[in-house]
Each structure stands twice: as structure tokens, then as C-alpha cells.
């Protein structure tokens, strides 16, 4: 198998049409804004825009796992708080 199933899910998710390479961005706020935009404009998602966006971000962090550089993992973890702010929720403490 040339590609991993998690990469396939990230690229062809039935819930969100993601901006290409969104998880490689270096600015947590840009990642959050992109995910929010994707979630709010999706006609196929099955839950709220917030849950869909957060689920996709968490899925990517968990699936990229050991192949994800520590610096990018920190950016993605900060993107979770940025996503909460984008949706008007309290950042995790």
C-alpha cells in the first residue's frame, strides 16, 4: 500500500474539504481559520462546524504521530486553542 489510510482520510474526508497542506502551515491561527472556513462551508458534515473542525485537527495530530516533527506538533496543538477562540469558546487551560 503506497499511501496510508489516514492520509487518504485527511485528503478525502467526507466531512470537510480542506485547504491543501493546511496542517503544514506554521501559524496556528491560519490553521484554525482555514479549518473553521472548511467546516462552516461543508454541506456533508454530520456534526456542528466546531466539532467537525476540531475532530479533523485531532485526527491529524493523532494519526501523524511519530512522523510529525515536534515543532509542528506544538503548532497544531496551539491551533486547537486558536480554533476554540475562532468559534467563541474558551481556550483549554
Residue 73 lies in a domain: yes
Residue 74 lies in a domain: yes
Determine if residue 26 is left, alpha or beta; phi over 0 gives left, psi from -120 to 50 gives alpha, anything else beta: alpha
Q: How many domains does the chain have?
A: 1
Residue 91 lies in a domain: no
What is the 8-class DSSP label of residue 73? H
Give the three cell numbers for residue 23: 496542517
Q: Which tens digit of pLDDT belongs to each residue from 58-67?
A: 988 988 877 8
Domain that holds residue 81: 5-10+26-86
Do the beta carbons of residue 63 and residue 6 sit within 8 Å? yes
Residue 21 lies in a domain: no
Q: Which tens digit of pLDDT belongs to each residue from 8-59?
A: 655 555 557 788 889 999 999 999 999 999 999 888 778 899 999 999 999 8
Single pTM value for the model: 0.81
Q: Which tens digit of pLDDT belongs to each residue from 7-22?
A: 665 555 555 778 888 9
Do the beta carbons of residue 57 and residue 92 sit within 8 Å? no
Residue 15 lies in a domain: no
Amino acid at each position: 500500500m503506497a499511501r496510508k489510510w489516514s492520509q487518504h482520510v485527511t485528503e478525502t474526508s467526507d466531512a470537510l474539504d480542506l485547504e491543501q497542506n493546511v496542517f503544514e502551515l506554521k501559524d496556528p491561527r491560519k490553521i484554525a481559520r482555514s479549518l473553521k472556513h472548511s467546516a462552516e462551508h461543508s454541506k456533508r458534515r454530520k456534526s456542528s462546524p466546531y466539532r467537525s473542525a476540531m475532530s479533523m485537527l485531532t485526527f491529524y495530530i493523532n494519526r501523524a504521530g511519530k512522523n510529525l516533527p515536534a515543532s509542528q506538533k506544538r503548532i497544531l496543538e496551539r491551533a486547537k486553542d486558536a480554533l476554540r477562540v475562532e468559534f467563541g469558546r474558551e481556550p483549554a487551560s
